[in-house]
Amino acid sequence: MRYIGGTHSDGIFYSKNDPVELFGYTDSDWAGDTVERKSTSSYVFFIGSGVLFWSSKKQQVTALSTVEAEYIAVANSVIQVLWLRRVLGILQHKQVDPTKIYCHSKSTIELFKNPVLHGRSKHIDIKYHFIRELVRQREIEIDYCRTKEQVADIFTKALKTEIFIKLKKLLGMSKLEEFGLRESM
């Protein structure tokens, strides 16, 4: 195990035995900004069992539905995935399989898969539709995850303590003492 960083008492640990496989989670809070009514997109990407990169940022456009807010969140995360895949390739860890991005909105996933639904989403800016092409090219794969396994929620929502602790653990964060390390690091 290797300690990478964290707080005085918690850290993210990576095992050298974990496969160098990139995957992530994406989420949004629909119209969470009560002034502008814009949503917040968040995503988190893992390499093996530990977090590699995360972001939480207000969307540039106002989403008209939860599906649209989630769609935009996925699109924003895909931009990061493409960059991370290139960097990993340069570092001799080319990602052969599509990078899985987990989303807890079945309707959003269907919007990516079913071109018939495109007529209902014309108002979404064209740049977000490039995801369909990346799915066809097997660069990415959008998969469903249950809401209680949606790790990106930790970046977009106020959570009950027990849910926060569960998601923090799913992020790969552990107490330093669990790995024989002291807080003085």
Which of 155, 1, 149, 140 shows the shortest CA–CA distance to 75? 140
The C-alpha atoms of residue 7 and residue 5 are separated, in whole angstroms, by: 7
Q: Considering the chain, what percentage of its residues have pLDDT values greater than 90? A: 31
What's 98-153 look like in SS3?
CEEEEECCHHHHHHHHCHHHHHHHCCCCHHHHHHHHHHHCCCEEEEECCHHHCHHH
| Burial of residue 2 (number of CB atoms within 10 Å: 0-12, 13-18, 19+) | exposed
pTM, 2 dp = 0.81
Q: Is the pLDDT of residue 52 over 60?
A: yes
Q: Is 119 left (phi over 0), alpha (psi -120 to 50) or beta?
A: alpha
Q: Is the pLDDT of residue 115 over 60?
A: no
- The pLDDT value given to residue 4: 52
The C-alpha atoms of residue 49 and residue 31 are separated, in whole angstroms, by: 32
pLDDT band at 3 (very low <50, low <70, confident <90, very high): very low
Question: Is residue 14 within 8 Å of 4, Cβ to Cβ?
Answer: yes
For residue 4, the tally of other CB atoms under 10 A from its CB is: 13
Q: Is the pLDDT of residue 22 over 90?
A: yes
The C-alpha atoms of residue 47 and residue 71 are separated, in whole angstroms, by: 23
